Structure 1
């Protein structure tokens, strides 16, 4: 006689892809930046708040269980952001994989909502209830189960229940790939958590992913470099550039030494680990036009999201960054360093998603690839994983 689901402690070894698990009064909150690093970025209006909201969205974070359970339930408190006047983003999707195969998907009911008014810069939280995800009818027998948390909304884990004992999935012998990048790396506009390009590349390459892609917040921050330095990994990749351009955060004079400094810090902890520098993917609005980027007001009036660049191309001569400028600089930096660092590699983002890809699979919001494009990018980057 099969017993009903019983509570399973949310032990650290059951959660993969997070750098820290915060024990809250309601449950367990996965973080993709440790507390000391979060404390070094201003957590108020602007980029500090952007990073704080992005790192707590658990892109690449998953529960990994070895079990004979046929029923798994998860109580979760979701938190999503709604910007006044901007169409809401799709609900986060939880992906259940059994022995590496996507078996079931679900969204969480209830949850908290952060309401943001861009005209005043003010925000407030509307409290909601804990929701339950139930996955039943799983195959009998011992199997490896992964439950991928959504890449685009916060997920506070409240209670895990199964109808059979669980144990951690052995990780011995599996390589770890740590990737740091922007919203495209986090998974913006991907169909679901296990269908971001980074997750797809990791699955294809048979590696364990740590996704440090932060929407709008890959700014070559020194604390991020130290996090990468201190995190065990067998392969590291850095997608650099798009956020610096669309935030108009840096000029050419500062960019080159900032990249060198970031790489120097990473090498302090990973002197011989294969390290891949990825330049920006194709994005027409910023190829030759600096930031800052902003919402396309006309598109918002019509009820959909689209981004636009507001800089002046003539300012490139004064040192403002575009994607073309960034690619040239990154190629030059890697070539210079590779002379004494044989494990440093350069991947041109245009080889992952270029003008021809845009003609076939255009960026629907002018900034982020859609689900089909994520698949294409993931397949292409998987080849670089295999090479490294």
Structure 2
């Protein structure tokens, strides 16, 4: 039997207990949690105490467990806290370095929002400098979003090939086709739906806890030159759909209770379906590392719209959601320059380069590696760790 020694300063302590999918060399994919510097196989750790352990966790996806609902999520979390502080079967515990991590759930559908007032205002000033109001007229009345492509959501560690597409620069007489030359990141959080809703039955803002399973770090890769040429009038398409990266550990929403904080004041008052007694955000700090150097630290607590409001807006027209649906927050940016969560903001459209490893840089080059990390406020003054999303840019394959 094995007993795990959990360092007191670990972001993967008993207050966290995230969920993921791992494999060992040549082995099958199975569900796990992380405790300190160890990965714990859930089926082996919880069987026979949990009758559904094999059904829910001896599988390469969290979807079956996520569909079980919030009462079961809480019950498993309580049982897991008890189990990992005692003796565990030797074959259920592995060093983090000895396993490979995978996409933790099957992504059913995907929506990306635009919930940061600072980000939206910065882009408004960049693209509409003569407009006295940088926000579009609808922005403070509803969570603006677009429908993305779930099939190209990938886990940390999977590299991204530079996308090709059609673009037209300000000095180009005609559109051209080729690799994107303004490849960017967007540091975000993603929220995972565990239990969906039936078509025609919207989810209210007070019902989010019955549906939201957990959160991940999300990098919404963006080809700004492709996006700029295509997005009028219907919005992002090929400039976004080539890849989005998520962290391999899903932090349960229950673990983020202590991180809840009020959103910034919402004025004007939202329409009734978006109202909450106290709209809640999350006190989560992110940092973006570019080729080993931290270049920005976006704060999620600055986000204008609550995850509960984003989910309510997604379903208010009668749309159904499913287990494994994912919606992202949009770029997380704060009021300061070193809190901007996209390089188009950080370098002000490429006009104000930042220094990375001694070089003046604006957008991503082939071979660049981006790592996004996040930690949340936890109980008792401890931090809760999301892990990271690390990706390297590969050359395009287009001709």
Give the TM-score of the pair, scaled to structure 1: 0.27
- Give 1 or 2: higher helix fraction: 1
Give the TM-score of the pair, scaled to structure 2: 0.27
